Amino acid sequence: VKRVRVRSLQQAKERGEKWAMLTSYDQYTAALFDGIGIPALLIGDSAANNVYGYETTIPISMEELLPLVAAVARSTERTLVVADLPFGSYEAGPEQALASAVRFMKAGAHAVKLEGGVRMKAQIAALTSAGIPVMAHIGFTPQSEHAVGGYRVAGRGDAHAVAEAGAFAVVLEMVMSDVAARITRELAIPTIGIGAGSDTDAQVLVWQDMAGLRQGPAPRFVKRYADLASVLTEAATRYADEVREGVFPAPEHGF
Ligand code: KIV
Ligand code: NA
């Protein structure tokens, strides 16, 4: 089985083929998504909310993400494994970014992602020249929520800056659809949208959002393709009921 390379994602753009990215943080989802041909999996710092129970992505550390990166890398054969640099692991400068990215690569990642446009040019250039493919992330960038606030309308300058610095792809989060379409036309590298309309080269969703495992109101850009929360609620409830009622385990489950 051949690994997806950053070059193949660029060739998909040249052929006009759209593709889907998902997050993954564990063995079973990684192997399953790899098996259906998802070409890139992101170990997002969204593990903060979706694995570790934090309110935001600010607190998550390299140490918390590294074992998840290693698990996803070990559990896939084909997908490009992209590790999301957490808040505080790259902003200080190219040297800090390189040190953090190297840790992810040694854990099995094939590329890293970082948030920021023009302000991250030096980091993107340093990682790229060290042989580490970089996925940039502009528009709404959750790690700097406290500084930039919510919705960002602009983004073309940032998009061109990350492409010039050497990024192999760029996530556009909650960028206005017409701006995202224009960025997608202007850049040679693939754009990956989340809440950025239908004209980007690819899309990304957090897998627990896509599959309806997370309960409660979801952002407008989420579409739930399943109701895993209900499936799991029913299964766990029946299991607990059957144990209480003495129905499980049955004779055939014993030795
Ligand atoms: O951490 C994450 O899940 C992300 C994607 C939503 C792009 O950054
Ligand atoms: Na992220």
Q: What is the pLDDT of residues 41-75, one digit of tens each?
A: 999 999 999 999 999 999 999 999 999 999 999 99
Is there a cis peptide before residue 133, judged by omega within 30 degrees of 0? Answer: no
Q: Which of 23, 87, 137, 213 to mutate to test the pocket of ligand 1 (most atoms within 8 A of CB)?
A: 23
pLDDT of residue 27: 98
* Average of per-residue pLDDT across 30-39: 98
- Tell me the pLDDT band of 77, cut-offs 50, 70 and 90: very high
Within the chain, all domains assigned CATH 3.20.20.60 are found at 6-224
Q: Residue with the nearest Cα to atom 5 of ligand 1?
A: 44
Residue 206 Cβ contacting ligand 1 at under 6 Å? yes
Give residue-wise pLDDT tens across range 92-135.
999 999 999 999 999 999 999 999 999 999 999 999 999 999 99
Q: Whose CA is closest to 25, among 74, 59, 58?
A: 74
Average pLDDT over the chain reads: 96
pLDDT of residue 178: 95
User: Average pLDDT for residues 221-231, to the nearest whole number?
Assistant: 97
For 194-218, the pLDDT digits (tens) are: 999 999 999 999 999 999 999 888 9
- Enumerate residues 6+ apart whose C-beta is below 8 A from 226: 210, 211, 212
Residue whose tokens read 């004779």: 251
Rounded percentage of the chain residues whose pLDDT exceeds 90: 92
What's the pLDDT band for 144 if we cut at 50, 70, 90?
confident
pTM above 0.90, yes or no: yes
Whether the CA torsion 103, 52, 72, 191 is positive or negative: it is negative
Helix (H) or strand (E) holding 183: helix 177-186
The two three-digit tokens of residue 252, written as one number: 């055939």
Ligand 1 centroid – CA 22 distance (Å): 9
Cα 4 to ligand 2 centre (Å): 21
Q: Express each pLDDT in 154-191 by its tens digit.
A: 589 999 999 999 999 999 999 999 999 999 999 999 99
Catalytic residue among 173, 242, 245, 252: 173
Identify the CATH number of the domain defined by range 6-224.
Answer: 3.20.20.60
For residues 220-231, average pLDDT: 97
Active site residue 242: no
Question: Which residues are found with C-beta within 5 Å of the ion, ligand 2?
Answer: 44-45, 84
- Report how far ligand 1's centroid is from the alpha carbon of 129 (Å): 24
